[in-house]
Amino acid sequence: MEAEHHHQTSNAGGIIGGLYVKVMTDDQMELLRQQISVYATICQQLVEMHKAVTTQQDLAGLRLGNLYCDPLMACSGHKITARQRWTPTPLQLQVLERIFDEGNGTPSKQKIKDITIELGQHGQISETNVYNWFQNRRARSKRKQLTPALNVVEPEVETEVEVESPKEKKTRAEGFQVQPYENSSPHRIKDMYIQSPDIGFDQLMSKIEVAGCYSSYFL
């Protein structure tokens, strides 16, 4: 094995047989395949959820069997402790993120109150929750910014020959790990091909079919 540095993040180009082509490493191919599969499956899942919600909308209320759905219930037993930590519902989270993205980094006291009231429409929440959320959001956003460029260590050819670990078992596929850290807005996908926000369900379905057709080429 030569000391060829393997840059995984760049697609190189070259001339092969007189054609200019992009080249991909197996890792990149696998990554790609994963990505497509994930998207495909997400779409399926979302479709399923949509169907379920749409067709059994009133059943949903009846089927609530959550064990910890009622933090307010003064149930006699202190054993079944409801979840003690507030967790934003997806809706609440959406609103919070939107407000956060608006940049008005100053959630004043009054603003907190307003937000709390608004979010109260979507679930149990308190001003403290909102306050804490913004505090944490800001702090962690900042932290991530401070650790942006992971010094890409180029691990030597991994000639670690240590054998002192009796539990030796790992057959690590060493190398490339993608850590889904949200830098910036993760939902931002550029280069949209569907712009209209009010597209119909059926159209989406057909789009999925098309996408699946493309996928078969690579999977």
Partner DNA sequence: GTATTATGAATGAACG
Partner DNA sequence: CGTTCATTCATAATAC
Site for its own copies in 178-197 (CB under 8 A): 178-182, 185-194, 197
Q: Are 1 and 11 in contact (CB under 8 A)?
A: no
Q: How far is the CB of 164 from DNA (least distance, A)?
A: 10
- Only one residue has tokens 């910890």, namely 68
**Among its own copies, DNA, none, what does residue 111 contact (CB within 5–8 Å per kind)?**
none
Show the tokens assigned to 75.
């149930």
CB of 134 to DNA, least distance (A): 8
> What residues between 38 and 97 interact with its own copies by CB under 8 A?
38-75, 77, 79-80, 82-84, 86-87, 89-91, 93-94
From the list its own copies, DNA, none, pick the one residue 138 interacts with, judged by a Cβ distance below 5 to 8 Å according to partner type.
Answer: DNA
Strand positions, DSSP E, 57-212: none
- Alpha-carbon gap, residue 138 to 145, rounded angstroms: 11
- 102's contact among its own copies, DNA, none, with CB below 5 to 8 A by partner kind, is none
Q: Convert residues 126-155 into a mask of x (bound to its own copies by CB under 8 A) and - (unbound).
A: xxx------------------x--xx-xxx
CA 110/CA 90 separation, integer angstroms: 24
Q: How far apart are CA 139 and CA 145, in angstroms?
A: 10
Smallest gap, in angstroms, from Cβ of residue 105 to its own copies? 20
Measured from the CB atom, the residue of 7 and 138 that comes closer to DNA is 138
The residue among 14, 39, 35, 34 whose CA lies nearest residue 24 is 14
Residues 19, 17: Cα–Cα separation, whole Å: 5
Classify burial at 180, counting beta carbons within 10 Å of its beta carbon; exposed 0-12, middle 13-18, buried 19 or more: exposed
Distance CA 199, CA 205 (A): 11
Residue closer to DNA, measured from CB, 44 or 81: 81
Q: Establish if 83 lies at the interface with DNA (CB under 7 A).
A: yes
Of 208, 211, 215, 216, nearest to 44 by C-alpha is 208
* From the list its own copies, DNA, none, partner contacted by residue 133 (C-beta under 5 to 8 A by kind): DNA
**Residue 101 contact, options its own copies, DNA, none, Cβ 5-8 Å cut-off depending on partner type:** none
By CB atoms closer than 10 A (0-12, 13-18, 19+), residue 133 is buried
Question: What residues between 135 and 194 interact with DNA by CB under 7 A?
Answer: 135-140, 142-143, 167-170, 179-181
Residue ranges in contact with DNA by CB under 7 A: 74-88, 93, 105-106, 108-109, 128-129, 132-133, 135-140, 142-143, 167-170, 179-181, 200, 202-203
